[in-house]
Structure 1
Amino acid sequence: MTALAFLALFAVLLGAACGITALVQLQKVKSELAELKKQLKSSAPASVKAVPVMAEQRTSELNPLNPLAVLPQPQPTYSAGTETKAAPVDLFSALSGWIEQQLIKRGMVWVGALALALGGIFLVKHSLDAGWLSPALRSASGAIFGLALIIGSEWLHRRSQGHALNNYAPAALSSGGFISLYAAVLVALDWYQLISPAVAFPLLAIVALSASWMSLRQGPLLALIGIVGAYAVPVLVSTDSGNVPALLAYISLVTASSVLVEQKVKRPWLWWLPMSAHLLWLFAAIWLASSHQLWAFWLVLCGSFAMLVWLPRIGVKAQHMQFTHQPMRSWWPLNRTLILSLALLVVACCSLFDTADIVSFTGLVVLILLMLCCAATDSKSELLIWLSFLPALCWLILEPLGLSADPYATSSASLKQHLLLLAVFAVPFCSVALKWPQRLQWSSALALLPVLILGVSHAQASLEIQQQLQLFWTFLALLLVAAQSAMALKTSHKAAAFIQMAGANFALTLCFTLWLSDAALTLAIAVQLVLLTLLGIRLNMPVPHWLIKLIVAAVLVRLTTAPLIGHYETELLLGVHWSFVVYPVALLCFALSWYLWFSTTLRSYLEGALLHLVAVFITVQTQYWLNNGVVDFTDMNFNTLTIQAFNWLLMAWIYQWRSGKAGSTAPLYRAAAAVLVILVGLAHLELSLEENPFWHTQSLGSVPVLNLLLLLWGLPAVIFWGFSRLPLKLRLKKAALYLALGSGTLYLTGAIRHFWQQGQLLLSLPTSVAEQYSYSLVFLTIAITTVLLSQWQNKSGPRKAGFVLLSVVVLKVFVVDLNDLTGVLRALSFIGLGLSLVMLGWLFQRLQKSDVDTVSS
């Protein structure tokens, strides 16, 4: 009953789809006819009064080589005239008339086809309810009715050949007939059990395939009926045998039939629809198949790639094979066969995640070889070289390398599989790279993928197996070094030679990785930067800038994160802490590379790398020397945090200043400066709240002025002022200037208190009269100097700020300072302050007068 309900729903949806398709196609034909009418009208005379004036053919226009040649006829030129205007058209009446015509001519046909299909189904159902015929005759009557509709549609199709618009009626009759046949078989199976699932399955398959092939005569809509029905047969009829190989064989037959039909009909959806159904059944087979049935899944998967991807790319007779170099832009946009290959790879990876045994490994190897063969015979399919590594990577991750108890045993199945996987990639890469050196994708893949296979295999293995196979893996990496070096020396293609030498260096880096520790590995990568540059100079081959940037980025990331990780702490190189060796050598490599790339656009990139490495080196060394020889950024005291904050602020200013001359790398400099400023802000937040020397006892040093306060507030004030002089946004400049004033004020206040309080700034300590006068004297001097300089420079803002500061200082003197003085000292203080203010006013008036005289002259 469920199957019949599904069939009825399918018939309704099919009828609606057919009607919509008919309307769309007819509208397309009518628009084309209207366009043709418009062109005919435009080529005709515009009005009755328009008189054509023929241009005379001059004798000079005759062909001197062939006087009898027919020259183009002169085009008539119409004189201006009064054109007749077309009568206005009632759009509503035209639209309603068009809809009426479609309902009569096309819609009624498909409604009739739907009625016929439902009639066949209801005939069988009513015969069952009324008991007219035996169950066998009831099912047979439905089948006979369906066959009659199909035969009638073929007769009508032959009568209407040559009239494309009339072919909808035969297709409608055929669709009703095939749906009736579906219903008859399902009723015989589901209701009466007249036939077994083993008989119903092939009957339904024959009906579906027949509908697909009849679409070659009566249109693509029958193909839709056949394709949907054929792929739905295993769902509608279940034999409960669990025979997955037979299921996949049937799906493969349906797919092959659909592809052949699509090649004749030439409708894209007739390719995408069966491919989607084919992939869905392959996904289902992953979970339906038992372990001893996986061979069928991998056989169909590899066969699907060979027949649906490789064969269409090169042609049935291999007439479309291409061996010439094709640029990478020819890969895009991806055509449908490459999209299908990517989908098949996803299916293969899902199968590996479900079951990874020897059968799966064998199927994986065959699939990879087929993909490499397709890429070798069709240079536009070289994207498959890189895609083929995806299932191999899944296998390496899911099946780590394992060995037997004997450390010298080489008969381990896991080891053989990993070596075979390495050979599957390395041998084809070498062969194609030697035969066609201009196909650079193969040399690039040889440089990267085998090394990645060795690296992933080594990284996934346990520590014990890594130690056992360290020497053997090094030997394999050295084989890659030797092979690619020999290929580079042999080939005459410079680009291929460079890629192969770069691949040799990459394999050599793997050797370093296997034997060297973390810090030494960073040095090995940094040395590769110089070696690649020298190699490009020697071969007279431009090194790709992205490769240099990638190596520089790798070194910077390692050297920036190394001090934060912590497990480097006990590592020594040449008997000293690793930072004393690694950072200077890396700086030397960067400096040599900067010199070698001086006249290129990489210069600014390498300059930024040098600056960043210098900043990291200074930070690490500061932490090392101030933290008792330990580079531990989780343990930072007041002194360490103060010095580090100053270092970061200075480097932030350098980065921001350098961004103005960095060109395309300016965003990197600005981003680095922003990160450092954020770090400085967090550090000073800690120093101001938790470690502030005004309410916590801190060791600041005993020397006045030149003490830790200079790094805490003094020099940062100068740096903030430097930020305000850089080409920043106005609000950022103001913020930098305010920060400079705040830091400077804190430094002056702290320096005065540090001098009078024997190296401390605690507010709890008593403040002497001399200290009070020192504050007043210093800030009075600053205020007077600010007012005079701003008046001289004619800057009103600083002048106003100077007067405000001067007023505050005078108020402090009268309110605070003079209260502690008596007698002659108080009188002399008032007299001195008054004379100072009078002299300041007199000097200010003289400056204003000189400015007025200058303006008037």
Structure 2
Amino acid sequence: MIALTLLLILGAAAAFYVVLRRIAFLEEELRRVESLIAARDHAAPETSARSPESSTPPAPAIEAPSRVAEAQPEHEPARTGVEPRPLPQFSLETLIGGRLPIWIGGAALVLAGFFLVRYSIESGLLGPGTRTVLAALFGAALIAGSEVVRRLRATADDPRVAQTLAGAGIASLYGTLYMAAALYHLIAPPAAFLFVLLITGGALALALRHGPPTAAMALIGGFAAPLVAGFDAAGIGPLLVYLALFTAALFGLAIHRGWAWLALAACASGFAWVNFLIAMLVAREGDLSAVGAFTMLLAIGASAALPATGAGNRWLRLAPLVAGCLQLAILAPALDFGWLAWSLYLTLAAAALFLAWRDTVYLPGALAACVLLLVLEMLAIDLRAPNFTPVAAILATGLFAVPGHALARRHPLWAGIALLGTAGPLLIAHLRAPELLSAMQWGGIELAAAAAVFGLAWRSRADGTHSLLVPATALAAFLAGLGLGQFVPGDWLALPLSCIAAALAWWAHKIRAPRLYALPAYPLAAALIAAALPLGTLSELILASLSGERLTYALLPALPELLRELALPVALAAALLLDPAQFGRVRRVASLFAVTLGVLLLYALAKQPLAIATLPRFETFGFVERALLTQACLAAGWLLLRRARAVTLGHVLLALGLFRILWFDLLLLTPLAEPQAVGPLPLLNAAVLHLALASFWLWTLPPRWRPGAALLALLAVLAAVRQAAHGNLLTGPIGTGENGGYSAAMLALALFWLWRGIAAGARDLRVFGLALLTGVTFKVFLIDAAALDGLLRILSFLGLGIALIGIGWAYGRFVGKGAAAPEPLT
């Protein structure tokens, strides 16, 4: 019954609105004709006063008004003979002393009538029929009094008295009708509806006759009447019907007279009643469905009425729509998210979309309705009890997605509605209630949604800077990745994610949109997140290796797992880095991760052939495997630097190789302390070849690398002496012969550097030779001489003295004469 009554209200309000708009149009035309007639009548005397035969030029005093009129801005209306009325002057004295008493007096009259009726009810003095008739007579008397004082000579000059009495009378009649129909049931609903129309028509006529104060009094009285009589005496349904009719009447009056303030006041009063009823019914555990229907009708009616009243502020026009959405969002849990709650909200959302289609001012309201709907779905869809929410999610998708896609190019907010409407309900349902569908069904729906979203990006491809291109592409990629992920096991997620990254890279390359180039990095990052387990294992392995763990092979994740979860994303990232545009503004970060993970993956692959899982195997192959890995880093860095490609990566790889030599080969896992086979052959063994080859890589690079090359060459010479003294394993004490061998080898190397430096004019080689020669001298005097005696000590010092004298003579003869142009030491 309530729903039927509300539908009748809507129909009556619509018809009433059409009639009022027609009357407003006719009045506007009448005013225009009157202004034209007045302007013509004013210009006629001036034309007749001028004599056609007069040749006297007009006086300057007559020309001045015309000049002033010409100087007026174009947007000002043309002046006519009708003098404009001066603006009323307001002051605190006139407000308090002249206006407030009259208005407060009118309100007091209304309250006096209501309380008189209530007193009669409580005292039992009068019956219901008598009370109703007296209340109606009181209201009619007030209206008649307004007409009397309007004609009296003493009060005719002050229209406020008549306005106040008319407003009080209208409010009294509304309250009387409510009591007669809702409290005492003296009038049947159809008759009550007719009486409401009659009172509303009377209120309209009086407001047109007396102006805004009468309308304000009618508004106050009409909304206050149920409170005075007892708002729940007849139930919530009749009360809401009364409020709906009264609000519709106020909207019609506001539209007809262009009173935006009246429409806003009626809307605010309606929402105040809604919140009051919610508080009362929640406390009493009452039914809120009718309140929700009234909220929906109020929001739609206010949103449609405000533009017709001439309200220009977009936020004021948008406020009822947003307030209605929020109110229904608050009501939905109390309605158990049933079909009624969702129907009300979807109806209001449809009205918001319709208004946004007609006027872009309402677009934020439509977007807010979409967001609030997603919030409601998130709250409701995980309830274990069966409810209407899944069906509502499907309806919401169609409701927002279809107009959003159709109008996406018209305004960016339509594009936002399209994206949210297409993906939002689906993603929330999948997140909160995955048991609703099977994985395959979720995947198929998400792929379809991805295709729909990508359609927006495809239509925007002509303009690479279009605001829709990047979000539509990103959302389509996300939906496609999520959908494809439903068709593969969890440990195969790298495959669909890599496919999405490759598709994004192709799309960015195809349309040459700079803002799209960064998107492939995100599915690749998702692939790394999916590979968190093997990456965590590799991280533990690196930390253990840096701390001195010898058997790192046992810590490696399984090779199939590594290849399945890391190989494809890393290979794709490396391939995309060949295009200078790919990854855009995140290229540096993407390069860092790609290189790091690539090195880790190659490291894991390189550990597979020797499979050093026991200490005997570590002693046999540990140094050789480590040397091969280090040489791979050095060789790759050397190649990149020589070809001047990826110079930063070349420096990183070269630094990594040198760090491995320093940390593992010389300090942590040095073969001098940890038994590790280097090979039985002199010179042609792993220790000598490893250090010599590392020195070679640095010698062939620019001069700034030569100090490191010289140091590695010296280490290679010392390794050769050590291996010659100890053989395959370099552990053990240093003997006398080995100690002398170090001195002889270093002396030979120093003489070689000096010779090459003098012959080639290379100052840095000469400096290296002299520094090493100085070190050998100190070693002989401080260490070697202490271990020798007799003839060996004499021969040692004799040989060293002759060598030093010869070096000094040769250095002064050839270098001092400038045999070769010196090179700077770098």
Above 0.5 in TM-score?
A: yes
Alignment counterpart, residue 339 of structure 2, candidates 295, 317, 338? 295
How far is 1:816 from its partner? Answer: 0.8
2:426 is aligned to 392
2:73 is aligned to none
CA contact (8 A) 1:352 1:395 kept: yes
Distance across 2 between alignment mates of 1:644 and 1:116: 98
Distance across 2 between alignment mates of 1:752 and 1:682: 22
Deviations 1:510-536 (A, max 9, x none): 6xx47x9959x8599789979x99x99
Distance across 1 between alignment mates of 2:444 and 2:161: 56
Deviations 1:9-62 (A, max 9, x none): xxxxxxxxxxxxxxxxxxxxxxxxxxxxxxxxxxxxxxxxxxxxxxxxxxxxxx
Give the letter for the 1:257 counterpart. Answer: G
Alignment counterpart, residue 771 of structure 1, candidates 725, 738, 741? 738
Alignment counterpart, residue 316 of structure 2, candidates 262, 270, 285? 270
2:8 is aligned to none
Deviations 1:736-786 (A, max 9, x none): 777666656555544433332334444xx3322232233333334444555
**CA spacing shift, 1:741–1:172, aligned 2, 3 Å:** farther
Alignment counterpart, residue 282 of structure 1, candidates 322, 328, 334? 328
2:785 is aligned to 818
CA contact (8 A) 1:153 1:174 kept: no
Q: How does 1:215-234 map to 2 (within 5 A)?
A: 217=257, 220-234=260-274
Alignment counterpart, residue 607 of structure 2, candidates 604, 618, 623? 623
CA contact (8 A) 1:211 1:222 kept: yes
How far is 1:309 from its partner? Answer: 1.9
Q: How does 1:205-244 map to 2 (within 5 A)?
A: 217=257, 220-237=260-277, 238-239=280-281, 240=284, 242-244=286-288
1:306 is aligned to 350
1:693 is aligned to 671
How far is 1:395 from its partner? Answer: 1.9
**CA spacing shift, 1:722–1:275, aligned 2, 3 Å:** farther
CA contact (8 A) 2:498 2:568 kept: no
Distance across 1 between alignment mates of 2:243 and 2:399: 34
Distance across 2 between alignment mates of 1:578 and 1:222: 71
Deviations 1:538-592 (A, max 9, x none): xxx88999699949985996899897588997788xxxx9969x979998x999x
Matched, 1:374 2:414: no
How far is 1:366 from its partner? Answer: 1.6
Alignment counterpart, residue 253 of structure 1, candidates 283, 297, 300? 297
How far is 1:624 from its partner? Answer: 0.6
Distance across 2 between alignment mates of 1:793 and 1:179: 107
Give the letter for the 1:695 counterpart. Answer: A
SS of residue in 2 equivalent to 1:296: helix
**CA spacing shift, 1:836–1:432, aligned 2, 3 Å:** closer
How far is 1:834 from its partner? Answer: 1.9
Distance across 1 between alignment mates of 2:306 and 2:93: 28
CA contact (8 A) 2:405 2:415 kept: yes
Distance across 2 between alignment mates of 1:275 and 1:644: 68
SS of residue in 1 equivalent to 2:680: coil
How far is 1:814 from its partner? Answer: 0.8
User: Which moves more between the two structures, 799-808 or 427-436?
Assistant: 427-436
Q: How does 1:565-576 map to 2 (within 5 A)?
A: none
Q: Output the aligned Cα RMSD.
A: 6.9
SS of residue in 1 equivalent to 2:744: helix
Give the letter for the 1:370 counterpart. Answer: L
Q: TM-score, normalised by structure 2?
A: 0.55
Q: TM-score, normalised by structure 1?
A: 0.53
Distance across 2 between alignment mates of 1:703 and 1:110: 114
Distance across 2 between alignment mates of 1:554 and 1:768: 58
CA contact (8 A) 1:356 1:395 kept: no
Give the letter for the 1:834 counterpart. Answer: G
Distance across 1 between alignment mates of 2:679 and 2:579: 48
Alignment counterpart, residue 758 of structure 1, candidates 708, 718, 727? 727
Matched, 1:837 2:815: no
Gap regions ≥5 residues in structure 2: 1-86, 123-134, 147-159, 168-209, 538-554, 615-620
How far is 1:183 from its partner? Answer: 6.2
Distance across 1 between alignment mates of 2:103 and 2:765: 94
How far is 1:269 from its partner? Answer: 1.1
Distance across 2 between alignment mates of 1:781 and 1:817: 16
Q: How does 1:622-661 map to 2 (within 5 A)?
A: 622-627=606-611, 640=625, 643-648=628-633, 650-651=635-636, 661=645
Distance across 2 between alignment mates of 1:721 and 1:150: 108
CA contact (8 A) 2:403 2:418 kept: no
Q: How does 1:500-515 map to 2 (within 5 A)?
A: 513=488
Distance across 1 between alignment mates of 2:522 and 2:483: 23
State the percentage of identical aligned residues. Answer: 17
Give the letter for the 1:283 counterpart. Answer: A
User: Which moves more between the two structures, 416-425 or 258-267?
Assistant: 416-425
Distance across 2 between alignment mates of 1:427 and 1:590: 25
CA contact (8 A) 1:525 1:551 kept: no
SS of residue in 2 equivalent to 1:624: coil
Gap regions ≥5 residues in structure 1: 1-101, 157-168, 321-333, 403-412, 460-509, 631-635, 726-732
Matched, 1:344 2:373: yes
Give the letter for the 1:274 counterpart. Answer: P
Distance across 1 between alignment mates of 2:461 and 2:691: 63
How far is 1:255 from its partner? Answer: 1.1
Q: How does 1:109-258 map to 2 (within 5 A)?
A: 134=119, 152=163, 186=227, 189=230, 217=257, 220-237=260-277, 238-239=280-281, 240=284, 242-258=286-302
2:197 is aligned to none
Alignment counterpart, residue 702 of structure 1, candidates 640, 658, 680? 680
How far is 1:208 from its partner? Answer: 6.4
